[in-house]
Amino acid sequence: AALRESFVWKAHKQNQRVVNLQPQASFKVAILGAAGGIGQPLALLVKMSPLVSVLHLYDIANVKGVAADLSHCNTPSQVLDFTGNSELADSLKGVDVVVIPAGVPRKPGMTRDDLFNINASIVKTLIEAVADNCPDAFIHIISNPVNSTVPIAAEVLRQKGVYDPKKLFGVTTLDVVRANTFVAQKKNLKLIDVDVPVIGGHAGITILPLLSKTKPSVSFTEEEVQELTVRIQNAGTEVVEAKAGAGSATLSMAYAAARFVESSLRALDGDGDVYECAYVQSELTELPYFASRIKLGRKGLEAIISSDLQGLTEYEEKALEALKPELKSSIEKGVAFAQKQA
């Protein structure tokens, strides 16, 4: 009986129904960096989506085996593999959503910014290909440091004359996933009910959970706010240290990225009630890029939910001011890199 009630069993039965039907929609998704720690479980989760008809897996190596393996799952989407720069363009043709987890992860003792030198170039090269081959796609950037790689992507798209700020997203869903999990645990709430908006950016103190805006409404002591905020800000490092040199979050990240892909596909499919947090071009603060809750629609970002920034607690107000200098300099670093390379 426990098995029948389990999430896995329900997902399996749901999938069985999906298999017997045609896909519910026929979107094409590409994952760049698909053979990596995030890429593989993300590909599996996207393969389970009834909204996807074709899944393109691109990496510089090892992607053939991943695609062969995944293609045996009896869910509707077709899986195609693409290896190396000569196949990059083909991996992007006709794609509706492109997800980018390509790049190196942290090791203990490193900050996300320490990844800049390697990942900035990787993101630049991949975005140039996106601009040339699927300029209308939703672009989901996972590669760190997200606070800088999103501005790099925007500059590259701008240089190519195809930048649509409504379609470029830094993926911060994992911060929300973590905040929801930790708050539910601390306050004994049903996980499915909890939703905490997380704003700012995706590194250290730039990650700011707005605990006062938690749904359902819940009160926290000052100590709880401090403890939860710091845990959410350091959750990536918690995983990096636990993995002790073998990389950073991959499974929870794949779960979070799959949620953001699913939300994007639902929005593309015409669902008018899709909200997520993401790091986007924004006028919410004086910074040009900022993570907040957004409404997604067929054309991408439909609205930025500005009300989340009203009525903040003193703790949140202070934390918001404190994060701005770091976020600003990460943005400027990204922009300067892209402009120097142009």
* Residue numbers annotated as active site: 202
Residue 61's binding partner among ligand LMR, ligand NAD, none (Cβ under 5 to 8 angstroms by kind) is ligand NAD
Helices (H), ranges, 189-313: 222-233, 235-243, 251-268
Residue 72: count other Cβ atoms within 10 Å of its Cβ: 7
- Enumerate residues 6+ apart whose C-beta is below 8 A from 92: 30, 56, 58, 98, 129, 130, 132, 133, 134, 137
* Residues between 225 and 264 with contacts to ligand NAD, criterion CB under 6 A: 247-250, 253
Residue 112 contacts ligand LMR per CB under 6 A: yes
Helix (H) or strand (E) holding 8: helix 7-20
Helix (H) or strand (E) holding 209: strand 207-209
Q: Based on the number of CB atoms within 10 Å of its own CB, is 15 exposed (0-12), middle (13-18) or buried (19 or more)? A: middle
CB of 241 to ligand NAD, least distance (A): 14
Token digits of residue 153: 């992507």
Task: Indicate the residue whose CB is closest to ligand LMR.
Answer: 236
CB of 175 to ligand LMR, least distance (A): 7
Residue 38's binding partner among ligand NAD, ligand LMR, none (Cβ under 5 to 8 angstroms by kind) is ligand NAD
Residue 183 contacts ligand NAD per CB under 6 A: no
Residue 206 contacts ligand LMR per CB under 6 A: no
* Residues between 50 and 69 with contacts to ligand LMR, criterion CB under 6 A: none
CB of 238 to ligand NAD, least distance (A): 12
* Residues between 67 and 106 with contacts to ligand NAD, criterion CB under 6 A: 101-106
The one segment of 10-18, 115-123, 203-211, 289-297 that binds ligand NAD by CB under 6 A: 115-123
Residue 190: count other Cβ atoms within 10 Å of its Cβ: 8
Spatial CA neighbour of 124 closest among 157, 86, 90: 157
Spatial separation of the C-alpha atoms in residues 114 and 107, rounded to whole Å: 10
CB of 253 to ligand NAD, least distance (A): 4
Phi first, then psi: give them for residue 303, nearest 5 degrees: -160, 150
* Residues between 253 and 292 with contacts to ligand LMR, criterion CB under 6 A: none
Q: What count of Cα atoms within 13 Å lies in the side-chain half-sphere of residue 103? A: 28
Residue 239 contacts ligand LMR per CB under 6 A: yes
Q: Which is nearer to ligand NAD, 184 or 207 (CB)?
A: 207
- Enumerate residues 6+ apart whose C-beta is below 8 A from 222: 315
The SS3 assignment for 78 reads strand
* Residues between 171 and 190 with contacts to ligand LMR, criterion CB under 6 A: 174
Q: Which is nearer to ligand LMR, 40 or 237 (CB)?
A: 237
Q: Which is nearer to ligand LMR, 106 or 333 (CB)?
A: 106
Residue 33 contacts ligand NAD per CB under 6 A: yes
Positions touching ligand LMR (CB under 6 A) are 105-106, 112, 144, 174, 236-237, 239-240, 248-249
- Give contact residues for ligand NAD (rule: CB under 6 A): 32-33, 35-39, 59-61, 101-106, 115, 119, 122, 125-126, 142-144, 146, 171, 174, 202, 247-250, 253
